[in-house]
Chains A and B, each alone.
Chain A
Amino acid sequence: AQTVTQSQPEMSVQEAETVTLSCTYDTSESNYYLFWYKQPPSRQMILVIRQEAYKQQNATENRFSVNFQKAAKSFSLKISDSQLGDTAMYFCAFMKHQGGSEKLVFGKGTKLTVNP
């Protein structure tokens, strides 16, 4: 079974600074997807960024980028130029690539607070 571990329950950062959230996972699969989801107080889960395991290039989406280390099974999220609106719970998630089924396995989350 796959597991996802987020070792930082809470983090804080000053506005405009950079913060990195950690995520490690355990799987025997070779082909899979990794995601970072954001859950603000409104509760709606929003996809921040995704990575296909077979791609060596790290994904980037504007101020968000990942450091994907497949051998180390590590998938960290870097948020640059942090904004107050980035305050939220961040969840790392794993999805096995297979013909059917879309099961996401989530970590416990990191609560990020951006301070003015």
Chain B
Amino acid sequence: DQQVKQNSPSLSVQEGRISILNCDYTNSMFDYFLWYKKYPAEGPTFLISISSIKDKNEDGRFTVFLNKSAKHLSLHIVPSQPGDSAVYFCAATSNTGNQFYFGTGTSLTVIP
């Protein structure tokens, strides 16, 4: 039972344009959400997070939006750079649990 879903396995974007990666979740108890970036042969690297008390969090080129009513979050990268090419994982947890639930990832390719 996949509680966090990333329905787009891949995405290609031109350098300089916006990349939008989407994530849906089913568990209404989730209250903290994270995005990780993963290069081949490396572990996931934390990118940005958002608490359920917010609907937006911004860090440089990266912004995460949370829509609690739709149980949906998205990661915006603008402007996209070739070095952003990686697999992006969405993850979620609740303050009553210890697990982080991950989506299956979206492979982003930024074309120079």
A binds B: no
A contact residues vs B (CB 8 Å cutoff): none
B contact residues vs A (CB 8 Å cutoff): none
